[in-house]
Structure 1
Amino acid sequence: MRNVSCSALLLSFLCLPLLGAPALEVQQWWYGAVYWVGGAPEQAESYLNTMANLARYAVAVWEIPVPRRMGAPQPVEAPDLSQAQTLLNLFPPGIVIPGPQSGLWWGLPPLQLGDLAVPPLILIIFPTLEEFQEELGSFEAAAGFSLPPHGCPQELAWLSPWLARLLAQLDAPVLFLSLEAEFSHLSARAFFHRTLAHELRHWGFWLWCQLEGIEFEELPPLWLEGLVEFSLLPRQAQRLPPTTLYPAAAYWARE
């Protein structure tokens, strides 16, 4: 894939379709869409380029092809998600998401992964870790990777109502991130880069599982975290396939 600036693909609007939600700005990017909670930052294009570059690297680590979009996003006006899906008639696993204003929806085509079609990737990005934790109802999480259906009833009950409604309409993998943390020893940019790299590795490994016919959700969470952290070690693990990393990752997780 050519390293083209995300600005050539970028569409950005104020998105206020969810009652009680903070201002959301939605942007399209290489692999799906990004919801900026509270509006996009001043350096949004720079962040999008970083996200695209790290996404490509996060996939390449698992020695699989980088996914590519199977067409352009399609806007449609409809009173609700169900009717928008009917009007767009997207080939699964393409998805329909809330667009830039109430009653406007975006149809996102699938991603081509080798011979497979997989759903696009959605990012929900908060301005600070503290706001992220408050809206998520968890003060332990620093970021997250979620697959549909997103969360059990108990977990959904902890979320802010607007966030629970948004997730209910996203039939695709979702990354939760924040741009900075008030009490982190890292700079804002380094904090975002570190958490983004970690969560994108989860996505990359999920893609690997799709190609291998492995049920990602059935793998032990502790093992998954160890595998991802081990894969982030510079030079030592970046070219090793998951099957080779298994023993080391299991040990890493126990430690």
Structure 2
Amino acid sequence: MTSAAEPEKLSPGLYIAATPIGNLGDITLRAKDILARCDAIACEDTRVTGKLLKLLGISNRLWRYDDHASEADRANLVAAMQHQAIALVSDAGMPLVSDPGYRLVRAAREAGVTVTGLPGASAPLLALALSGLPSDRFLFAGFLPAKDQARAAMLDELAGLRSTLIFFETAPRLAKSLAAIAAQMPGREVAVARELTKMHEECRSGSAEELIAHYTAHPPRGEIVLLIGPPVAPEAGAIDADALLLAAMEHDKPSQAAGQVAKATGLDRRTLYARAMELKGA
């Protein structure tokens, strides 16, 4: 009787593997093969990854590597990569997107370790595709800050970029973030993508005010990707700058209102400020 051939042994190194963000069917054949054949798997939470491996029918050694990992933990992993195949996964999606994996990859490269990438599910990219917002230029900026002042500062920093902005957000903080967008980026198209790849997947777009009204009536659940369209430079006469200035000056000074409208429309800030002063004195 001929015995089944042993699986080919993987070359030593680091294998960065994407895992599903909700739907188990999104695991790639290649990722499943590598996770089964590697010597160990570095992961954020051994319970989360252990559950995934059980569903996939894989039994393998798990090595915890998260935000609290020390330099010694990282050094031990890199040392193991010199003679073993080590896979790196996050709790969901592509590793290194809002997780500490980049430090491990940097250390591995500095040590001369071969790093191999296994692409797959990614919540920011899926949300961008579903939103219909411009995708020729985009910026993923992680989570918006939880505190109002810090959130406002980040939005102000990014408002002038002519790119679609992508953030992770939590359901309890969504309303505050939408309100901040409405105040600081008036006129922008916004999209909320949630429960991606799951049964109740949704991607809803509109103005920040429209989305606030919807999610006030229908409180959101699940994990959320929040997207903001880029400022659109309008054709002459295509936008009512006076209306935007008056709306902004209801809660801000003329200089601040001019800056917000300039960022939202691409119009000249000095011209808008002069007009704001005229409107204020009218």
Rg comparison, structure with higher value: 2
The normalised TM-score by structure 2 is 0.22
The normalised TM-score by structure 1 is 0.24
